[in-house]
């Protein structure tokens, strides 16, 4: 085995664009077809950790947040049901993980402050940490890296309001 040279800058994000038309009819197949290789392909999976950004095209001029749009909540809920790997993939410098959680959990908007249902958020976290653990086992990634990622995800949610 050769000398391992540590990275001095992070890999660029992996951006997955989701068209509004797909969201409006809950057509998740193209998005899932793009996501699955990121966790199943031996070349992509290990290097995809923490790099995914979901971008929802066609909502730039919509004043609502995605979690307030019923079609977006349904679309993202369907994705989450079929694909429990957000804790592994999500770029924590983006709002991807927050958006997914806000769409799959019951929420209340109190003057712009989003309050998550604590049971829903806990169930989301349990399911997603299960996916994270599954992928670390499958790809034989270091336990230290799994612990660090788990800590990063937990820290990401520390500012989230729950009730």
Distance between CA atoms of residues 55 and 68, nearest Å: 16
pLDDT at 59: 96
Asked whether residue 7 is assigned to any structural domain, the reply reads no
**Per-residue pLDDT at 2:** 45
Mean pLDDT of 14-28: 98
Is residue 125 domain-resident? yes
Instruction: Provide the phi-psi class of 117: left if phi over 0, else alpha when psi is between -120 and 50, else beta.
Output: beta
CA atoms in the 13 A half-sphere facing the CB of 36:
7
- Averaged pLDDT, 34-40: 97
**Is residue 1 a part of any domain in this protein?**
no
Task: List pLDDT tens digits, range 111-149.
Answer: 989 999 999 999 999 999 999 999 999 999 999 999 999
Q: Is the pTM of this model over 0.75?
A: yes
Which residues are within 8 A (CB) of 83 and not within 5 positions of it... i.e. 6 or more apart?
A: 32, 35, 36
6 in a structural domain: no
Grouping H, G, I as helix, E, B as strand and the rest as coil, residue 82 is helix
Q: Is residue 8 in a domain?
A: no
Quick check: is 101 in a domain? yes
Scanning the structure block, which residue is given the tokens 């996916």? 131
Q: Tell me what percent of the residues of the chain surpass a pLDDT of 90.
A: 91
Name the average pLDDT for the chain. Answer: 94
Which domain range does residue 108 map to?
14-158
Nearest one of 135, 128, 134 to 153, comparing CA atoms: 128
| Structural domains counted in the chain | 1
Q: 151 in a domain, yes or no? A: yes
Report the pLDDT value the prediction gives residue 1, as an integer from 0 to 100. 43
In a domain, 122, yes or no: yes
């Amino acid at each position: 085995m050769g000398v391992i040279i540590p990275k001095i800058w992070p890999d660029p994000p992996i951006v997955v664009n989701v068209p509004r038309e797909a969201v409006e009819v809950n057509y998740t197949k193209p998005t899932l077809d793009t996501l699955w290789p990121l966790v199943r392909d031996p070349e992509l999976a290990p290097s995809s950790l923490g790099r995914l950004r979901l971008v929802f095209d066609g909502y730039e001029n919509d004043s609502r947040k995605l979690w307030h749009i019923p079609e977006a909540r349904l679309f993202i809920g369907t994705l989450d049901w079929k694909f429990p790997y957000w804790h592994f993939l999500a770029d924590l410098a983006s709002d991807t993980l927050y958006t997914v959680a806000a769409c799959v959990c019951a929420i209340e908007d109190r003057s712009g402050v989003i309050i998550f249902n604590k049971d829903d958020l806990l169930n989301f976290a349990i399911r997603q940490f299960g996916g994270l653990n599954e992928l670390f086992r499958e790809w034989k990634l270091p336990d230290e890296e799994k612990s660090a990622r788990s800590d990063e995800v937990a820290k990401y949610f520390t500012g989230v309001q729950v009730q």
